[in-house]
Structure 1
Amino acid sequence: MALNNTTAFHDEIVVVDGLIIAKWDRELFVDMRKGGLTAANCTVSVWEGFQSTVNNIIEVNQLIAESSELVRPVRTVDDIRAAKEEGRTGIILGFQNAHAFEDQLGYIEIFKQLGIGVVQLCYNTQNLVGTGCYERDGGLSGFGREVIAEMNRVGMLCDLSHVGAVTSREIIEESSKRVCYSHCLPYGLKAHPRNKTDEELKFIADHGGFVGVTMFTPFLAKGTQATIDDYAEGIEYIMNIVGEDSVGIGTDFTQGQDQAFFEWLTHDKGYARELTQFGEIVNPEGIRTIGEFPNLTETLLRRGHSEDRVRKIMGENWLQLLGDVWGTAS
């Protein structure tokens, strides 16, 4: 497909990023529009408790209101479709840890009412729900089973990207609604605690789940030397296991964040023991910034994927998943 036709195709399709943890500001919103991003799951809580998370939501809501010509809040799939029609980017609020639920099941519905659509159950380590991927996995707790049931009830997507293998398996089996890895890569291309084995990928797909593929270079075989084609290879590897209807994009963009932020991320609860070291953070050549998102559409088409398949990967599969979990009522 000629470049001008590729650009037109990208402008036409729905583009959903299943995980962005970038620095919240207007500059980010401008780049989202440059990249033709229809919607993104944007992190508003990792290590924070209830009150600090509410404060984060207040701050983000204010930023969205101040840039309403660029972005809009998302609570339903209809909101994502509307964002596409309006030429804005829909902001889905999400957590990367259930820590903000504390020990109160009632907080789950409160956060749903505040617009939280996606919650990762554990971030790297143990919490009241289960175990993260960087320590010995004790599985899903009794309280965790209650959390899953309540998330299912209110329509909140369970994310297992940083969750341990045993806890993930038990959540997949426990949940009455579809669950996801919003941002991961295959262990088969690089042995890393954050990457998922072929068996894990097949298990979530066999149970109706979904896999968003990250491009975070510490998890790619070529590291900081990776290119957009290496990212596409990761997408293709996972698609060959889960099928073209169960795969999407979850970049894990950290655009605008500084070293102090990564130190906070990589220490348990933000301040305790060091869990991992990322080294230099450089996104793959060809998709260094959110504004370069059209290059991914071009790359997938160049690598021989049909327009219908690219539509699914770039966004339509996410819409189906979110509709299944959130429901279709406005």
Structure 2
Amino acid sequence: MSNLHQQSLVIDGLNISKWERLVFEDMKKGGLSAVNCTISVWENFQGTVGNVVDMKNLIRDNADLLTLVRGVEDIKRAKKEGRTGVILGFQNAHAFEDNLGYIEVFAELGVRVVQLCYNTQNLIGTGCYERDGGLSGFGREVIAEMNRVGIMVDLSHVGGNTSSEAILASAKPVCYSHCLPSGLKQHPRNKSDEQLKFIADHGGFIGVTMFPPFLKRGSNANVDDYVEAFDYIINLVGDDCVGIGTDFTQGYGKPFFEWLTHDKGRHRRLTDFGTVINPEGFRTIGDFPNLTAATERAGWKESRIRKVLGENWLRVFGEVWGA
């Protein structure tokens, strides 16, 4: 691990791995200061509260490696202590059900990032895999309440119209926590140049994923292809609003993807990713230092590397979460 990686604040803006000791040890090995850990996709309110309880138990049981993040000071403290800060996040607002009051409840439990829709339509708006009807009236109320209680709005799997309307409706910065540019590969989950510029122009944030089906060379990709995707986006929007959102699914196999990619968790199959092989050189979370090395090979200045590794995420989290 290079000195630069060791000294830098490193934040992964989206990770949906199997939450267990092996993964937490790999986060330590990778030098991760904080991670947005997905704890809800298709679960309802009660199921998600159960997941919060489970995650908090894991944080306690692995206190040598982990600490809960409620604000940016917790991330800085985690870095100082050599632990990884766990940010509780959802990849779907399904757990809000039709009750605005649940949003504050989750905020008080420590939830800090919520994606509005997962691939398809819910009560808030439309996902990226179907005809996009935009943000609902309820969706506008959800965003206003998320702004009020300090939960970041994530639009990674959200449709284009719903995303644009959410960006305009939000009084605080929103994000694509994990996405790639359509300019390198056409895919319903990838974002066009216009979409990337639009979120950046409105003070939003772009987390770049290395999920192989969305990368230009798919399963043949390596860590340098991942850096190429960063370069593409930075050339469009600059390097102040870009960070990492790996979308690691470490520890999971085929049944997990079956569950994840069926609409509403059990019905229509939305997509088939085939075999998911992470980029060569970045197969596991413990390989994070290889990403820093690849950015150095690509000729990035140290200031850019530090910003993209974590400083940018820290700043935007502060803007959304408040003091």
Corresponding residue number in structure 2 for 1:88: 83
| 1:241 Cα deviation from its structure 2 partner | 1.1
2: distance between equivalents of 1:156 and 1:243? Answer: 25
1:292 aligns with 2:284: no
| 1:269 Cα deviation from its structure 2 partner | 1.1
> Any idea what SS the aligned residue of 1:323 has?
helix
1:267 aligns with 2:262: yes
2: distance between equivalents of 1:175 and 1:145? Answer: 8
Show the 5 A alignment for 1:172-191. 172-191=167-186
> Any idea what SS the aligned residue of 1:91 has?
strand
| 1:221 Cα deviation from its structure 2 partner | 1.4
Q: Deviations over 1:129-152 (max 9, x none)?
A: 000000110000000000000000
Corresponding residue number in structure 2 for 1:55: 50
Q: Deviations over 1:79-124 (max 9, x none)?
A: 0000000000000000000000000000000000011000000000
Structure 1 length-normalised TM: 0.97
> Any idea what SS the aligned residue of 2:2 has?
helix
| 1:242 Cα deviation from its structure 2 partner | 1.5
Show the 5 A alignment for 1:1-330. 7-328=2-323
Q: Deviations over 1:222-268 (max 9, x none)?
A: 11000000000001101111210010000000000111000011100
2: distance between equivalents of 1:268 and 1:242? Answer: 33
Structure 2 length-normalised TM: 0.99
1: distance between equivalents of 2:71 and 2:214? Answer: 31
2: distance between equivalents of 1:179 and 1:240? Answer: 20
Q: Which residue identity lines up with residue 79 of structure 2 in the other structure?
A: K
> Any idea what SS the aligned residue of 1:301 has?
helix
CA RMSD of aligned residues (A): 0.6
Q: Which residue identity lines up with residue 325 of structure 1 in the other structure?
A: V
Q: Deviations over 1:124-182 (max 9, x none)?
A: 00000000000110000000000000000001100000000000000000000000000
| 1:20 Cα deviation from its structure 2 partner | 0.3
> Any idea what SS the aligned residue of 1:94 has?
strand
Q: Deviations over 1:256-292 (max 9, x none)?
A: 0111000011100111000000001110000000000
Corresponding residue number in structure 2 for 1:3: none
| 1:302 Cα deviation from its structure 2 partner | 1.2
2: distance between equivalents of 1:149 and 1:263? Answer: 33
